[in-house]
Structure 1
Amino acid sequence: MENGNITTYFILLGLFNTTRTHQFLFVMVLTIAFTSLVANALVLLLIFRDRQLHTPMYLLLSQLCLMDLMLASTTVPKMAADYLTGTKSISSGGCGLQIFFLVTLGGGECFLLAAMSYDRYVAICHPLRYPNLMSWQFCLRMISGSWFLGAADGLMQAVVALSVPFCGVHEIDQFFCEAPMLMRLACTDTSVFEYVMYVCCVLMLLVPFSIILTSYSRILTAVLQMHSREAGKKAIATCSSHLAVVGLFYGAAIFIYMRPKSYRSADHDKVVSAFYAIFTPAFNPLIYSLRNSDVKGALRKWMGQCAALNRY
């Protein structure tokens, strides 16, 4: 066996090559990523400016936008720079930071989506007790807990992934660093760490997902018991945006992290990773904006204020 060493850099093979088709795909991905940054920043600005959006529901939404903004910023600039300059190397420190932020944001978003489902459950099933059950203090604790749990998992994966010795060519068949890919380059037996990492990923996905399922099963029960059809439609409309975001996020995450190794393909993983890290952050603010009258109202109000200022 070749002696391993603690490497100082890795080579990211990337998502695209130099063919004309891939150049078109690169421009399309870059456009979607830019849209993601602008859309999430815009929703954050609207929530910050409009007092009517200063509620627990929109505080949670602002954190989702912040996580999506950071998620796109963690992968896209490096991917674009590598493609345009042809320099595909990344330092071990930069690789560790990518792992930390990706796992932190992914894990944090899992628990944040669970917190948002609980918020919808309280709003629909216990509307009179909403101010007490969803107080600002409790909402801030849920947000802090989401960030903390994600960061703890991210720090663990980044530290362990970079502490093992690596052999041969340090090439990662991906456009960003992730711990499972690094484990394939290790010289030592990493089965224990891979098992622990798999368990952590499953828990980070399934624990919040069970909270989401429980919340929406109770919401569905409450909706079916409503005597007013209009009230039921309003309740479903309130939850539809969140359900769409949950479907996009968990569909990609489960496909990446919970498939058996025998069904995995590097090309499929890269495509789904791009969907998860680039496309989903762009879809989330659009889903909430297009189906949320409060957000659309805040946008119209802000655009009206900007138009009035331009007249003077």
Structure 2
Amino acid sequence: MGEFELIRNYFAAAPCAQPGEGVALGIGDDCALLSVAAGEQLAISTDTLVAGVHFPDVCDPFLLGQRALGVSASDLAAMGASPLAFTLALTLPQVSAEWLEAFARGLNTMAQGCGLRLVGGDTTRGPLSLTLTVFGTVPTGKALTRSGARPGDLLCVGGPLGDAAGALPLVLNQRTTEASTTQALLTRYWSPQPQFELGIALRGKASAALDISDGLLADCGHIATSSGVRLLVERDQVPMSDALLRFFGPDAALNAALSGGDDYRLAFTLPPSWLAELQAAGLPVFVLGRVVEGHGVALIDALGQDVTPSTRGYQHFQETR
């Protein structure tokens, strides 16, 4: 099967690749054409996922298709952007019709759930890797960034943390547990749901935001650095699911929530005056700390003592000693 036949059979014909609002021209020409309304800005983000680094070398291609797009689309939610379109560059060691069919179904499932349309990309031969570029729109001047946090703001997250990190022993077949716990944790790993509703609701309210990919403490460090402030995370307020606590126990569950990564929940700073309105609207807003003067990120106990662990999250190219 040639490259263009592969694209035509498994991607160009997918429901998520059909014309839609905001897409003037999709797959088939040298470029896609996207329409952006007056008063809107285009938000763009690119992620690369590599076999053996971001997902197991051998895994269900349907689940991989879901995860790849969900991970990438989460960046749009973190900016308060509305989803528009995406491209896919797919590198394959070999062509398997069965693998491609399942992967395309998973990709399409997530795309339709997110409201994203496939508008182009590339395919080539080599070690399995996926590069996705996602596009969204946000009203001019309303994008959420990492640089606006101020002393007095609350530090919040969009839901329980650590489930995806807790799922890793299950993904790697290192442990087993009861079916309900397995399903809850694996769903958070393989099918992360970008928090578009929350991100859009935070426009004009949150002072800074990002999505958690490398661990709460590590990623909050980006807000602290960009905003020139210090973030205090209250250990006893970190939200965790019952499934994670059952599977890991309280200490290991907390470590997963703080530094495990792959949560793809939003972390954001919020002036206290907005809290009641957002929670009354039924949005997932969990307060776990506050912004103060200073720099960096600290985990504190109930007495206010610094109990920050040495491991804060995942870093690519980290030197080992």
TM-score in same-fold range (> 0.5)? no
Q: TM-score, normalised by structure 2?
A: 0.28
* Greater strand content: 2
* Greater helix content: 1
Q: TM-score, normalised by structure 1?
A: 0.28
